[in-house]
Structure 1
Amino acid sequence: MQQNYLIVLVGPTAVGKTQVSIEIAKYFSTEVISADARQFYRELNIGTAKPLGYELKQIDHHFINNLSIIDRYSVADFEKEALAVIERLFLHKNILVVTGGSGLFIKAILEGLDSIPEVSNDTEEHLKILFRDKGIEALQLLLKQHDPDYYKAVDLNNPHRLIRALSVSISSGKPFSSFLTSKVKNRNFIPVKIGLQLERKDLYSRIDERTDRMMNEGLLEEVKFLLAHQHRNSLQTVGYRELISYLNHNCTLDEAVLKIKQRTRNYAKRQMTWFKKDKEINWFAPNEIDNIIMHIERVTA
């Protein structure tokens, strides 16, 4: 019987996961499954650092440009659809690559999630009003009180994620994070976990350079085009929310760009907090592709 292996490539934003995942997929003649929630949306391009057109032509990718920003989509939807794609691909291959910085979406593939309870519409609406009137800081403070564990891992600048977690916590009376620690579900593959990391100063330099490059490539124009959808959950993320604030005359462009850089650095720090808890991850620098390949070959031999 064929033994299947899922290469799980993780790491903070801007560390270089896209290029390394493509190199791994090329070497093993396989395909890439994206677990980056922001790259699902076909309207969000520059600000999500999607693989470029020529990169998508080199290797087949799944779950990139598969949704519109008007679609409702949950991590449970992703778990179901991703597992179906993985099962289909394993009919012809025994090694696949999954990559992304969305720890929750990676966890859904590898372990599954508990059934998250329905939330009260009144609770969710109350939290949206709180965000509108008091800002994201009020949501952050509330989450720290209700669920300090999730507070340490979540992107604190994503109001959609904060409202979702708080809605579940308040409606159920249990921390949102308690629903993410379910008994691991059986999977038909062995995960091989690879982490990419850089010295903090080098990663932060990459983040700043990438932000400047995004601006030069037309991120502001992309956000202007999407401004009519500014209240969509998919646009309440780093890179889009700050420029929306600028376009609504709440800050200068320079201030918006500085906020993007700072919030991206904060997000990268939280991503590493999440991934460093997993002792099964083997860590490499992004330029150690030969060592990464050797490690995968050794584990899958």
Structure 2
Amino acid sequence: MSKTLIVIVGPTGVGKTELCLQVAEHLGVPIVNADSRQIFAEIPIGTAAPTAIQQERVKHFFVGNHHIDDYYSASMYEEDVMHLLCDNLFQTSNVALLTGGSMMYIDAVCNGIDDIPTIDDNTRQWMKQRLEDEGLERLVEELKLLDPEHWNIVDKKNPRRVVHALEICHMTGKTYTSFRQNEKKQRPFNIIKIALNRDRDILYERINARVLQMIDQGLEQEAMSVYDKRHLNALNTVGFKEMFEYLDGLTTLDQAIYKIQSNTRRYCRKQLTWFKRGQSIEWFNPDNYEEIIKYIDKKLID
């Protein structure tokens, strides 16, 4: 049998965790996590990371294996996962399972990602200060001068993308465009892609309920424990941004909860749009476990 990577994706709150535990148990394989925030050990509640009990059921990779002040990128993740798959998991099994909702991480493993240089701390802090002092519009105009090709395609209302391109320009003396190859890498294994979705009303209800569950589990206390590191990129994410506003006294707890629910639903829509762009992907309701297993088993035989 050829080596095969099964990739199961889906929006936040859809029910990936339990479904993938069942699939992993059926196949007798561990789970390779593809969530860019669940890799950080300090924030398991806010990232809905697999619990200790779930990790006892099935071995997980890339869960809580980094700290929030570690620098980590999609290109580093690609390298780490390829090493794990080719030099470890595929040495003892013909099948591996990767799952998560981080679009960039999934794409990095399936298609490869450009090797963009890591930004040094001085450049990062300098550009962050410039964004605060000069504003986004001024930086967009600068990008037009330094890298007009990327300026033509970048989301000019997204400060992170504009700033990152300028960081590369200033740190390397080269354009951001020069590092972007956009060439799909060939993988030494087959890829089976499965996407999960539910009726939108049900999905939104699940998201709202999960946010309340996080509050009950101690999200406020978790946010307080990392409050002094709120400037870190690892914490620039839904759940923590809203809780930090609450801890700053800018909102009430109820308002923070409402914002987390609303912003999570917005992120969910963004994930679905991204996943629907993918080719050769089969969609299922995560409750249809037997149908999913039948599809996987058939694809592995074909």
User: Normalising by the residue count of structure 1, what TM-score does the alignment of the two structures yield?
Assistant: 0.86
Give the match's secondary structure for 2:195: strand
Structure 1, unaligned runs of 5 or more: none
Could you say if the C-alpha distance between residues 241 and 31 of structure 1 is closer, same or farther in structure 2, counting changes exceeding 3 Å?
same
Match of 1:70 in 2: 69
CA pair 269-187 structure 1, distance change in 2 beyond 3 A = same
Query: Per-residue deviation at 1:45?
Result: 0.8
User: What letter corresponds to residue 164 of structure 1 in structure 2?
Assistant: H
- Partners of 1:246 and 1:253 within 8 A in 2: yes
Distance of 2:165 and 2:7 partners within structure 1: 25
Q: Distance in 1 between matches of 2:281 and 2:238?
A: 26
Letter in 1 for 2:50: P
* Alignment gaps of 5+ in structure 2: 145-149
In structure 2, C-alpha distance between the alignment counterparts of 1:27 and 1:66, rounded to whole Å:
26
C-alpha deviation, 1:123, in angstroms:
6.4
Q: What residue identity is the alignment partner of 2:18?
A: Q
State the 1:161 CA deviation: 6.7
TM-score, scaled relative to structure 2: 0.86
Asked if 1:95 is matched to 2:95, the reply is yes
Contact 2:31 2:99 in 1 (8 A): yes
- The structure-2 alpha-carbon separation of the partners of 1:51 and 1:117, relative to structure 1 and needing over 3 Å to count, comes to closer
Q: Is the 8 A contact 1:147 1:169 kept in 2?
A: no
Change (3 A) 1:282 1:239: same
Aligned partners of 2:257 and 2:133: how far apart in 1?
24
Larger Cα-atom Rg:
2
Aligned to 2:114: 114
Partner of 1:26 in structure 2? 25
* 1:115-174 residue CA offsets vs partner (Å, 9 max, x unmatched): 225668786445412554689xx59x959x96686649x9x7xx7677435644887545
How far apart are residue 246 of structure 1 and its match? Answer: 1.2
1:86 matched residue in structure 2: 85
Return the alpha-carbon distance in structure 2 between the equivalents of residues 118 and 71 of structure 1: 12
**35-44 vs 196-205, which deviates more?**
196-205
Mapped to 2, the partners of 1:289 and 1:30 lie a distance apart of 17
Q: Distance between the aligned counterparts of 2:223 and 2:174, measured in 1?
A: 36
**Where do residues 182-193 of structure 1 align in structure 2 (5 Å cutoff)?**
182-193=182-193
- Alignment RMSD: 3.0
The answer as to whether partners of 2:74 and 2:108 remain within 8 angstroms in 1 is: yes
Flag the 1:163–1:213 CA change in 2: closer, same or farther, 3 A.
farther
**Whole-Å Cα distance in 2 between the matches of residues 62 and 277 of structure 1?**
27
Deviations 1:242-273 (A, max 9, x none): 11111112222222111111111111111111
24-33 or 182-191: which moved more? 182-191
Q: Is the 8 A contact 1:160 1:233 kept in 2?
A: no
